[in-house]
Amino acid sequence: MPVADVSDAELIAAFTGRDESALSQLYDRYTRAAHGVALGVLGHPGEAEEVVQDCFLKVWERPGLFDPQRASFAAFFMTMVRNRSLDTLRKRRNTLLNTRSLEDEEGVLLPIADERTGPQGHTELLELGRSLADALERLSATHRETVTRAVYRGQSREEISLEMNVPVGTVKSRLKYALDKLKNHMKGGDWE
């Protein structure tokens, strides 16, 4: 069966038989988007890469965590990556609490330089960042704000609902629509 015809759920099921090619296929499908989510939260390429690898390892070791009846693998995995990224960010903030501010005067997270990134890696990350920024700009202002609040600020749907003065269901719909658009764009698909 061609790789594109194998569903995410089938690949996860193959994990129980320790099929490493299934892990490789799933990794190829989602690593770029997952890295973009982690990098957006953390602003640090090395930490983002580590978070993504940790999340793939967790799914590999415990494939039962994914329930195809509850969500698509993409939604499940991006949520896992986002949550792990936020945990990493909180740990970093706690460690650096009294040494320096991680945010500028407007509360925007400052980037942290990674001296280990070579010129090619830096160029690739810049291109990934530009692609994600371009995709975010294509969203409507309300969709962009909803995604920014959820992904970059780590706000819950309820918090977003209160601050944007819309029902929680509207927040959920906006997030699903926007994240589907972003995922498709990052995979190289058409915007429409």
Q: How many domains does the chain have?
A: 2
- pLDDT score at 55: 92
- pLDDT score at 66: 84
Question: Of 147 and 50, which is predicted with more confidence?
Answer: 50
- The Cβ of residue 164 has, within 10 Å, a number of other Cβ atoms equal to 16
* Domain assignment of residue 44, yes or no: yes
Give me 48's structure tokens. Answer: 């983002």
- Average pLDDT of the residues in 164-185: 86
The residue segments making up the domain with residue 140 are 119-192
Question: Of 133 and 19, which is predicted with more confidence?
Answer: 19
Give buried/exposed letters for 24-45 (b at 16+ CB in 10 A, else e): ebbbebbebbbbbbbbbbbbbb
Amino acid identity for residue 123 in this structure: T
- pLDDT score at 49: 92
- pLDDT score at 50: 93
How wide is the angle at C-alpha 186 spanned by C-alphas 183 and 189, nearest 5°? 85
Residue 105 phi, psi (nearest 5): -65, -15
Residues 21, 92 share a domain: yes
Residues 189, 127 share a domain: yes
- pLDDT score at 98: 45
Share of the chain above pLDDT 90, in %: 7
Domain boundary among 67, 97, 127: 97
- pLDDT score at 54: 93
In tens, the pLDDT along 9-30 reads 888 888 878 888 888 898 888 8
pLDDT tier, 112 (very low <50, low <70, confident <90, very high otherwise): low
Domain with 55 in it: what CATH number?
1.10.1740.10
